[in-house]
Amino acid sequence: MSTPSPEQAAGRLRAAIRQASSGLVEREALVELIVLAAVAGEHLLVIGPPGTAKSEAARRTSRALGGAYFEYLLGRFTEPGELFGPIDLRRLREGEVVTETRGMLPEAELAFLDEVFLGSTAILNTLLGILNERRFRRGHTDLACPLRVCVGASNHLPEDPALAAFADRFLLRVFVDALPDPHLEDLLAGGWGLRGPAAEPAAGVADIDALAGHARAMDLGAVRPRLAQAIRTLRRAGIDLSDRRAVKTQKLVAAAAALAGRPAPTEADLWPIVMAVPTAHAQAMAREALHDLLAPSESAALVAAATTASRGMLARVPGLVEAMQALIAAPAATDDAWRLRAEGVLAEIDAAFAPGARPEPLVAPRAELAGLLTA
């Protein structure tokens, strides 16, 4: 099978994002960030209460990407063999400690570990090797792991300094809450739709690898001064971003540019720096401190993630265009619910952009939708 071009890979990964996000209310950013992490070769930590679709988002993203998937809920009494595989008893009788890894975490390409901080010291130490070096070492077993991305989940960030050091291996942080009341109808409808049969994967691991190679080859020279400025701004604001996290943020910026279809990163791709900030409170402070620098943020592939990170209206433009196109295509243009949604989209556009300063992609669909409302 031939290696896909960056354009082909980016197109299929965008389709995978759409496929995985369908029916997941207010979790589009999480799906997009899992794909971003996979292309960047980094890992993602999701913090939030039980029942907030953390595992469902990871599961659906894995199905859309088509890779070998491993999922497990850790507990205080989880044994290493439950994650890494059992000891081969035949080899043990011969004096060798060899792990049978077939179908277990060391052979996964995408993984989801729920309550990841509940693992024992033995489990977490072995996990460090898999996350950092992509190698599994246990007894006489030493093998390379094909892991592209691991999604860890927990109800809260750990306070134990030893666990905090382990948590630092997850570069991206996403904080989720239960959906507010206005989204309940969408939640119920979307949750019911998730019961259907799974679709064929829209992309493959080869697409992740092709785009990852493209991102690694990018020249960040033009955008690096602005990235350094952002890091200095965060540090002056008292927001902790370690040297290691600062350096690795470049991988996120390059991956964001690759997914957006750009040959090299621009100021529009700096927004992932916010998602590398370790805590929810610090992320909110980072958005405020970097407000002007992140104003150009936008991504046709990672609309929800770029909007969540930057809180910028330019990042919302692709989503607003899509919302207007859906309303224009809807057959019931006289329905009260349709009118409320249409008025809401137009109000959002008008509040963000003066008539003479609207981005070009908004102009034609806004005029068409306004015409339908007044017809």
Task: Give residue 190's pLDDT.
Answer: 54
Long-range contacts of 234-241 (CB under 8 A, 24+ apart): 234/273, 234/277, 234/286, 234/289, 234/290, 236/289, 237/285, 237/286, 237/289, 238/285, 239/277, 239/282, 239/285, 239/286, 239/289, 240/278, 240/282, 241/273, 241/276, 241/277
Judge whether 158 and 167 are in contact, CB under 8 Å.
yes
**Average pLDDT in the chain:** 88
Task: Give residue 24's pLDDT.
Answer: 80
- Rounded to an integer, the average pLDDT of 1-24 is 90
Task: Give residue 89's pLDDT.
Answer: 81
Task: Give residue 184's pLDDT.
Answer: 45
Task: Give residue 289's pLDDT.
Answer: 94
The backbone torsions φ and ψ at residue 168, rounded to the nearest 5 degrees and listed phi first, read: -65, -15
Question: What are the tens digits of pLDDT across the range 185-211?
Answer: 454 445 545 555 567 899 999 999 999
Name which residue leads in pLDDT, 277 or 3: 277
Name which residue leads in pLDDT, 280 or 195: 280
> In whole angstroms, what is the distance from residue 241 CA to residue 231 CA?
7
Query: Which secondary-structure segment (H or E) carries 174?
Result: strand 172-175
Percent over 90 (pLDDT), the chain: 60
Per domain, the residue ranges of the chain are: 6-193, 220-312, 317-374
Task: Give residue 187's pLDDT.
Answer: 43
In this structure, the chain runs to a length of: 375
pLDDT at 352 over 60: yes
pLDDT at 221 over 70: yes
Confidence of residue 281 (pLDDT cuts 50, 70, 90): very high
Structure tokens at 153: 């989940």
Name which residue leads in pLDDT, 96 or 30: 30
In CATH terms, 6-193 corresponds, of 3.40.50.1820, 2.40.128.20, 3.40.50.300, 1.10.240.10, to 3.40.50.300
Question: What are the tens digits of pLDDT across the range 53-111?
Answer: 889 999 999 999 998 999 999 999 999 999 999 888 888 788 788 889 999 999 999 99
> In whole angstroms, what is the distance from residue 148 CA to residue 150 CA?
7
Confidence of residue 181 (pLDDT cuts 50, 70, 90): very low
Task: Give residue 84's pLDDT.
Answer: 95
Residue 271: closest CA among 33, 41, 94: 33
Question: What are the tens digits of pLDDT across the range 242-270?
Answer: 899 999 999 999 999 999 999 999 999 99
- Mean pLDDT check: name the lowest of 25-29, 184-188, 325-329: 184-188
- Rounded to an integer, the average pLDDT of 30-51 is 95
Task: Give residue 183's pLDDT.
Answer: 42
Task: Give residue 164's pLDDT.
Answer: 83
Q: Is the dihedral of CA 273, 275, 281, 285 positive or negative?
A: positive
